[in-house]
Amino acid sequence: MPRGARLDTPGTLHHVILRGIERRDIVDDDLDRESFVSRLGRLAEESRTAIYAWALLDNHAHILMRSGLSGISTFMRRLLTGYAIFYNRRHHRYGHLFQNRYKSIICEEDSYFTELVRYIHLNPLRAGIVESLAKLDRHPWCGHGVVMGRCDAAWQDRNYVLKWFGRTEGRAKRAYREFVEKGIAQGKRPELVGGGLIRSLGGWSVVKSLRRSGAQEKGDARILGSGDFVAQVINEAEQKVRRQLAADDLIERAEKLIKDYCLEHNISIDVLHSGSRRQAVSSKRSQLALMLVNKIGLSMAETGRKLGLTTSGVAQILRRKS
């Protein structure tokens, strides 16, 4: 079954999970860890991507992030490619370091933000990398210590996290730590590492109950949230795709019109693009410009690119013929 396309718009909250290829380690020592974390921080600042929670383990990592203007795909490509080049050079190895496709789950913020912060920050404790919550407070390869003010990572938005737990920093830190401590006994929380209807609703029994009652709830494996939230995200993504498809269709129609016109009038497309000012060529270029803008609805800038004209040149043709 083909994998679904990435869903992303600037400002979207994502739980990102990346793993080493064949579950191999992605860090061997603290120098590798420092390189990965510093690269994460630098890219977050450059792209204005908010990082709320993160945990770097030996063979995988978790990041809770809000995508910046460039979106999650560009951010993750720069992070993973840049680090993989560093790692391969340092360890004299070749080939892929990460699984080809990292996992990104769009999350409904009101319902899942604090749960995801806790889940991600407890990863080193669950994995046995640290022995206690007190050790986790000072663990440098996880965002928990940053929220607690025990580790330094100016690029992590700890203030936003603390605002969910209290108005003053002291109270918020105490409430946050108590909340994290209560999560230790909850275990792995598989419902938080993937989207889909069953996970979003809290289990298969809930889904069956809804179905028995006749209620309909929308689900998608790329999204962790309520049915209404899933529908909203998918609708926004479909609108974006429709706009792109409409633009692509417009270009295709314009190119066909130009090709057919050139065949009918025995003129080559290359001559049109050459900028020739011969009367016969100039006249046909003007006719095509009018057809592309007025009949097809192509923009003046795109019309200019197709005909070897500047945007202002297309505007002059339209003014002369109006």
Q: Calculate the average pLDDT of the chain.
A: 81
Q: Which phi-psi region, left, alpha or beta, contains residue 250 (left: φ > 0; alpha: ψ -120 to 50)?
A: alpha
pLDDT digits (tens, 9 = 90+) for 294-303: 877 777 877 8
Q: Report whether pLDDT(220) > 80.
A: no
CA atoms of 224 and 196, how far apart (whole Å): 6
Percent of the chain with pLDDT over 90: 45
**CA distances in angstroms from 66 to 107, 213, 239, 272, listed in the order given:** 10, 36, 21, 46
Residues 126 and 257 in one domain: no
Whether 96 and 164 map to the same domain: the answer is yes
Q: Do 84 and 189 share a domain, yes or no?
A: yes
Which CATH number does the domain housing residue 46 bear?
Answer: 3.30.70.1290
In a domain, 221, yes or no: no
Judged against a pLDDT cut of 90, whether residue 144 lies above it is answered with yes
Residues 239-261 have pLDDT tens digits of 544 444 445 567 788 888 888 88
**Residue of 1 and 29 predicted with greater confidence:** 29
User: What does residue 251 show for φ and ψ, rounded to 5 degrees?
Assistant: -65, -45
Q: Report if residue 82 sits inside a domain.
A: yes
Whether 175 and 276 map to the same domain: the answer is no
Least confident of 59-73, 102-116, 156-170, 236-250: 236-250
Is residue 121 assigned to a domain?
A: yes
Q: Does one domain contain both 183 and 88?
A: yes
pLDDT computed for residue 215 by the predictor: 39
**Position 232 pLDDT exceeds 80:** no
Q: Distance between terminal CA atoms of the chain?
A: 54
Bridge-based pairing of strands 103-107 and 50-56 is: unpaired
- How many structural domains are present in the chain? 2
Q: Is residue 7 part of a domain?
A: no
With 90 as the cut, is the pLDDT of residue 293 above it? no
Beta-bridge partners for 142: 55
Q: Which contacts of 158-166 are long-range, i.e. CB under 8 A and separated by 24 or more positions? A: 160/50, 160/52, 161/52, 161/53, 161/117, 164/113, 164/114, 164/117, 165/114
Distance, in Å, from the CA atom of 48 to the CA atom of 42, rounded to the nearest integer, reads 10
Point out the domain boundary residue: 151, 169, 194. 194
Q: What range does the domain containing 98 cover?
A: 13-194
- 147 CB-near residues (< 8 Å, 6+ apart): 117, 121, 156, 158, 161, 162, 173, 176
Q: Do 177 and 35 belong together in one domain? A: yes
pLDDT score for 235: 57
The answer on 141 and 260 residing in a single domain is no
Domain final residue, candidates 176, 194, 212: 194
**Which region among 81-90, 180-189, 229-238 has the lowest average model confidence (pLDDT)?**
229-238
Order of strands across the sheet with 103-107? 50-56, 60-66, 13-19, 103-107, 223-224
Calpha distance 63→47 (Å, rounded):
15
